[in-house]
Amino acid sequence: MSATTTALGFAISPSTSPVAAARREEILADPGFGNFFTDHMATATWTAGAGWHDDAVVPYAPLVLDPSAAVLHYAQEVFEGLKAYRHADGSVWAFRPEANARRLARSARRLALPELPEEAFLASIEQLVRADEAWVPSGGESSLYLRPFMIATEAFLGVRAAREVRYLVIASPAGSYFAGGLKPVSIWLSQDYTRAALGGTGSAKCGGNYAASLLPQQQAAEHGCDQVCFVDAAERRWVEELGGMNIYFVHDDGSIVTPALSGSILEGITRASLLQLAADAGRAVEERRVSVEEWREGVASGRITEVFACGTAAVITPVGRLVSPDGELVHGTGGAGPVTEELRRTLLDVQYGRREDTHGWMRRLV
Ligand code: PLP
Ligand code: COI
């Protein structure tokens, strides 16, 4: 799709007005999730004629967009989410960023956006993290959350793939996604709304999927729940995923099961990593369809002992309760179960460099 794209190096133009060190330290002490942004952002432009160009890391600043920019009307947009982790020796690492690069390319293809070469994706995050190294928190489970995204900037109201596109990466220091930290979350089973249908955009990471999840997410909150759980659109029977996380079931024999990639589920990198880490630890792992009936019966019979959600932002979060118009299910004791805790510790130990990275998942950034 692109014409003459040469290697993109994302050279750094440093900000002349960075946030004062004392204020930055104050932010890093309690960043929450998605509240604060660093001093820089990475950017590149694509045009149908010239391919990718104008790549740089520049001071963080508002964008100037024509009001007719296609993204504002037809939501031609895709994004990614990954984290930079500071290790005990001060070095900074990303977890499987090549997988994010590949998923961004798959999402872009589905949204008729140009694909960014994997090396360019990696260069953009490396250069941004180098420029904003002081913003990578240390201690606890904090990290620098990176949000690469691509938007259709062409000023044109006709409905077709835009011929001008912008790629950006912004960064935000992150503590825990859920305000309660490792406290179990409750989830609402959405029966009125589905997230994605076969042939739709569910397996792409595009903003529209999240826009469509906001109303069911509000319903979840009205029912006292933290997150919404979606079932498949055709039969309304098969468990898919949460608004921004994949889901796992732990069985009484220690095996773990996650819904198979159905074509409408987002292929989570945390999900895939847990299949591998659990298998490494000798657990039986399964990807298959899981029905809501199996969920109910499994909790009633004691076969399902724990349920957890997983994703970059949420890491691994225990699901204490499932609420639906048909009643409420409590998983195990309603707290974090031992298998959830073990997998969480294993994953975090790899990400923070406390455990051998046997799969070569970590990439050093600084
Ligand atoms: N499912 C949805 C809808 C998501 O938004 C995310 C978060 O990115 C995930 C699953 C988990 O994906 P990952 O583990 O790659 O962060
Ligand atoms: C992530 O985990 O990176 C996500 O994208 C989930 C949510 C913040 C959209």
For the segment 239-248, the average pLDDT, to the nearest whole number, is: 97
Tens digit of pLDDT for each residue in 150-197?
A: 999 999 999 999 999 999 999 999 997 877 667 899 999 999 999 999
The tally of domains found in the chain comes to 2
Atom of ligand 1 nearest to the CA of 269: 15
Residue 313: CB within 6 Å of ligand 2?
yes
Query: Are 147 and 243 found together in one domain?
Result: no
Ligand nearest to the CA of 267: 1
| Cα 110 from Cα 107, distance rounded (Å) | 5
Same domain membership, residue 312 and residue 190: yes
- Asked if residue 197 belongs to a domain, the reply is yes
pLDDT in tens, 247-295: 999 999 999 999 999 999 999 999 999 999 999 999 999 999 999 999 9
82 and 202 housed in the same domain: no
Cβ–ligand 2 contact at 78 (below 6 Å): no
Same-domain check for residues 199 and 121: no
Q: Are residues 147 and 96 in the same domain?
A: yes
**286-339 pLDDT per residue, tens:** 999 999 999 999 999 999 999 999 999 999 999 999 999 989 999 988 889 999
Q: Are 60 and 134 in a shared domain?
A: yes
Domain that holds residue 255: 185-351
Residue bearing the CA closest to ligand 2, atom 9: 244
Question: Domain with 306 in it: what CATH number?
Answer: 3.20.10.10
Mutation test residue for ligand 2: of 177, 227, 317, 351, the one with most atoms within 8 Å of CB: 177
Q: Let me know: does 347 contact 270? Beta carbons within 8 Å.
A: yes
16 within domain boundaries? no
* 205 in the same domain as 100: no
Q: What angle do CA 314, 318, 319 make, to 5 degrees?
A: 105
Spatial separation of the C-alpha atoms in residues 14 and 343, rounded to whole Å? 40
Share of the chain above pLDDT 90, in %: 93
For residue 15, being part of any structural domain is answered with no
| pTM score | 0.97
**What pLDDT does residue 82 have?**
98
The answer to the question of residue 305 being in a domain is: yes
Picking from 152, 174, 196, the residue at the C-terminal end of a domain is 174
CATH code for the domain in which residue 30 is found: 3.30.470.10
Please check whether residue 358 lies inside any domain of the structure: no
> Which ligand is closest in space to the CA of residue 146?
2
Are 216 and 270 members of one domain? yes
- pLDDT digit string, tens, across residues 27-85: 999 999 999 999 999 999 999 999 999 999 999 999 999 999 999 999 999 999 999 99
Residue 244 sits in the same domain as residue 333: yes
Do 275 and 198 lie in a common domain? yes
Residue 8 in any domain: the answer is no
Give me the pLDDT at residue 1, please: 44
189 and 305: one domain?
yes
The answer to whether residue 357 is domain-embedded is no
Q: Give the domain-ending residue among 121, 145, 174.
A: 174
Q: Which residues line ligand 1 (CB under 6 A)?
A: 81, 241, 244-246, 266, 268-271, 311-312
Residue at a domain's end among 153, 174, 195: 174
Return the half-sphere exposure (C-beta side, CA atoms, 13 A cut-off) of residue 327: 8
Residue 5 has pLDDT above 70, yes or no: no
Question: CA separation (Å) from 218 to 183, 184, 215, 225?
Answer: 20, 19, 5, 9
Q: Mean pLDDT score of the chain, rounded to an integer?
A: 96
Is residue 82 assigned to a domain?
Answer: yes
For residue 202, pLDDT beyond 90? yes
The verdict on the CB of residue 277 being under 6 Å from ligand 2 is: no
Residues 162 and 190 in one domain: no
